[in-house]
Amino acid sequence: MKLLVCDPTDPQAIAAMRRAGIEVDVREDITPEELEQIVADYDALVVRSRTKVRAPLIDKATRLKLIIRGGVGLDNIDVAYAESKGIEVRNTPGASSNSAAELTIGYLFALARRIPQAAASMKEGRWEKKAFSKGVELAGKTLGVIGLGRIGSLVAQKARALGMNVLFYRRTPVEVDYATQVSLDELLARSDFISLHLPHTPETHHLVDAQAIAKMKDGVYIINCGRGGTVDEQALYEAVVSGKVAGAALDVFEDEKEEQGRRFRDLPQVICSPHIGAGTVEALERVGAEVAQIAIEMVGRLHA
């Protein structure tokens, strides 16, 4: 089997696949144009969030049998179209969940105590003790988690351990002992902090829009370490400017190719990072191990 690695993948995983007899080519900075030219030569692709596998590319992938998404979300892959062509699509949903959850918790602290802003002030030679001595404690506050999948569940459990009251919204009912399920409107109205952990689909597009923000408490904080597009960024920008939203933390954006969250750069109340939720050494190793396992299993089926 011939496999192309299109995005950064743990070297140990690449070595493991090669030991299993897979011919692995590594092109971690391959462009969409270059990928279109060579995809017909491969039986399998390994991608992360950077590489998009859409219908036009799939049509050119005449040998392709397997797409492995190193990570959770599959919104960069036309899954149904790929499967209609007989291509199996797999992901590694559990491997990076804890890393994304820990980033979310870090953002909770950063917003509550304005840590990035205080650090930047010190770097600029200022001693603004009074300005940064008006933070809030997380204990006793209410966190609303929108989407209680793997990552949302971990965030809820960690927040509960910090002494927060945790509410969650999801479409299907589920009982957990660390959070209370409520309607979306109730979550919006009661939460001091709101964290999104949703896939980006037509149903979740701009789920948090101007109308949703209007239902929130004055001075609410919003975190999105899930998927870009679930928050209406223009509505969020306007809510921060007006003071309705006290602060926001964003690791994902609607347009990560061009706009990249630039609209928020002039707002000191908003802190951003370049989609690093899964960006830990441990997550990279776990993702790589699962990617290698999936690819090796495919080889075994092909030779069975």
Q: Are residues 113 and 262 in the same domain?
A: yes
Q: Are residues 89 and 152 in the same domain?
A: no
Q: Any catalytic annotation for residue 256?
A: yes
Question: What values do phi and psi take at 95, rounded to 5?
Answer: -65, -35
Q: Any catalytic annotation for residue 275?
A: yes
Q: Are residues 85 and 153 in the same domain?
A: no
DSSP-derived secondary structure for 163-206: T-EEEEE-SS----SS-EE--HHHHHHH-SEEEE-----TTTTT
Mean pLDDT for 118-127 is 95
Question: Which CATH number covers residue 217?
Answer: 3.40.50.720
Enter the pTM of the model. Answer: 0.88
Tokens of 227: 């998927």
Q: Are residues 35 and 184 in the same domain?
A: no
Q: What is the CA radius of gyration of the chain?
A: 21
Q: Are residues 246 and 126 in the same domain?
A: yes
Quick one: pLDDT at residue 74? 86
Q: How confident is the model at residue 3 (pLDDT cuts 50, 70, 90)?
A: very high
Q: How confident is the model at residue 174 (pLDDT cuts 50, 70, 90)?
A: very high
| Nearest Cα to Cα of residue 187 among 155, 224, 213 | 213
Q: Are residues 126 and 241 in the same domain?
A: yes
Mean pLDDT for 135-147 is 97
Q: What is the pLDDT of residues 242-289, one digit of tens each?
A: 999 999 999 999 998 889 999 999 999 999 999 999 899 999 999 999
DSSP classification of residue 213: H
Q: Are residues 42 and 89 in the same domain?
A: yes
Q: Any catalytic annotation for residue 126?
A: no
Catalytic pick among 90, 150, 197, 275: 275
Range of the domain at 57: 2-93+281-303
Catalytic pick among 227, 233, 254, 286: 227
Quick one: pLDDT at residue 71? 85
Catalytic pick among 88, 186, 238, 256: 256
Beta pairing partners, 66: 44, 88
DSSP-derived secondary structure for 115-157: HHHHHHHHHTT---TTTTS----STT-EEEEE--SHHHHHHHH
Whether pLDDT at 303 is above 80: no
Quick one: pLDDT at residue 304? 59
CB atoms within 10 A of CB 112: 18
Between 206 and 49, where is the model more confident? Answer: 206
Quick one: pLDDT at residue 43? 95
Q: What is the pLDDT of residues 69-117, one digit of tens each?
A: 998 878 899 999 999 999 999 999 888 899 999 999 999 999 999 999 9
Beta pairing partners, 221: 193, 247
Q: Are residues 171 and 250 in the same domain?
A: yes
Q: Are residues 242 and 298 in the same domain?
A: no
Query: Mean of the per-residue pLDDT values for the chain?
Result: 95
